[in-house]
Amino acid sequence: MNQSGSPLEAAEKLFATLYPEMKEKRDAIEGGKKHLVHYTSAENALNIINGQQFWLRNVKCMNDFMEVQHGIGLLLRTFHAEESLRRDRLYQLCDKIAEGAAKSAVDEFDRWLPSLPHSIYIGCLSEFDPDDHLGRLSMWRAYGSPGGSVALVMNNEPFTAETDVLKAFSVPVLYLSDEEFLKRTDEVLDSLEKNIDSFQNLNAESLQDIIFYWLIFLASSLKHCGFREEQEWRILYVPSLQKSPTIVESVECVRGIPQIVQKIPLEDAPEKGLHGASIAKLIECLVIGPTEYPSVLASAFERALSNRGVADAMKRIRISDIPLR
């Protein structure tokens, strides 16, 4: 029986087995083939730069709330039906590592599930081609406003740093139909069975935590396949499970709705393993979307970026000439 490697290596391999898209997508980010971008209104982009904060909002207040319900529904139909061959197979496989750990994880997730919409805070990003000068038309349409819209293209370093100082997770969204999710689940379970000997170093507590967070990530990142072209990533933060000493909670009014938000400070913390998070380092470039006032916005954002220590700020600003009808 092959039990080589440390418990940490076994845990990382198990999560990669359960969520294979994570490694594939993260490798593309780490290799620079893709960047992450935040599409938003010009007003909010200016608030992010001036305030040096990125806000995470409760999932119930987001446009994507019904899509979280879609993910929960897929999980319930796959693992929580009265007779679920896939759930039973998951239990049987995990019992070979630590008996009862997977069942305990699913039971814990069941207890936690009703509070999920109230507990999860998210920030939405999207994959971005470094050579893209136009931005994505559908995103401009979604986030267009009378004052214009902006895409903040991010430096990848903070999203790939080996640190848990924020207690938040960057997770790629999965766009799957019921049939696709069932097929994916079968493939994941096949891979788990094939590599079961690699996870024997895990104790029951570690295995339970991995299965529990795997289910949370799935519930929070599954969307209908019709939204696939968005290529979304989500920053997930669940303070009721892991509270960050760095993220600040505040009550704010967003579009006239008072709500609790979680504010990520955009500043470096090298002593904690967080690099490249200041405005000057984080914003790789800024794309101004379709607007009647492109030069006005460009001048304003040049000044705002300069005030945050960005040298030659205009060189980081692109103006999309894509027509928006």
What are 4-38's pLDDT values in tens digits? Answer: 468 889 999 999 999 999 888 888 888 888 899 99
Distance CA 190, CA 87 (A): 13
**pLDDT for res 274:** 75
pLDDT at 20: 92
Here the tokens at position 259 are 């709500």
Residue 324 confidence (pLDDT): 64
Is 79 a residue whose pLDDT tops 80?
yes
**pLDDT of 91 over the 80 cut:** yes
**Rounded to whole angstroms, how far apart are CA atoms 71 and 188?**
17
Decide which of 148 and 146 is more confident: 148
pLDDT band at 325 (very low <50, low <70, confident <90, very high): low
Lowest-pLDDT range, 40-54, 260-274, 301-315?
A: 260-274
pLDDT band at 2 (very low <50, low <70, confident <90, very high): very low
**Residue-averaged pLDDT of the chain:** 89
pLDDT digits (tens, 9 = 90+) for 195-241: 999 999 999 999 999 999 999 999 889 988 888 888 999 999 999 99
Distances (CA, A) of 154 to 118, 183, 253: 28, 34, 26
- Considering only 128-132, 184-188, 204-208, which range has the smallest mean pLDDT? 128-132
What does the angle CA 297 – CA 300 – CA 302 come to, to the nearest 5 degrees? 105
Residue 64 has pLDDT above 90, yes or no: no
158 CB neighbour count, 10 Å cutoff:
22
pLDDT given for residue 89 in this prediction: 95
Report which residue type is found at 267: E
CA gap 241, 264 in Å, rounded: 17
304 pLDDT more than 90: yes
The SS3 of residue 93 is helix
Average pLDDT over residues 285-307: 95
Which one has a higher pLDDT value, 216 or 324?
216
Task: Quickly count helices (H) and strands (E) in the chain.
Answer: 13, 12
Which has more confidence, 72 or 306?
A: 306
Helix, strand, coil shares of the chain as percentages rounded to 5? 50, 20, 30
Rounded mean pLDDT, 104-115: 91
Average pLDDT over residues 100-117: 91
Averaged pLDDT for residues 116-133: 88
**273 or 64: which leads in pLDDT:** 273
- 321 or 50: whose pLDDT is higher? 50
- pLDDT at residue 72 is higher than 90: no
Which residue in this structure is represented by tokens 């692109």? 318
The predicted model gives 53-75 an average pLDDT of 80
Using the structure block, give the residue that is written with the tokens 């339970």.
208
Collapse the DSSP code of 158 into the 3-class scheme (helix H, G, I; strand E, B; otherwise coil) and give the result: helix
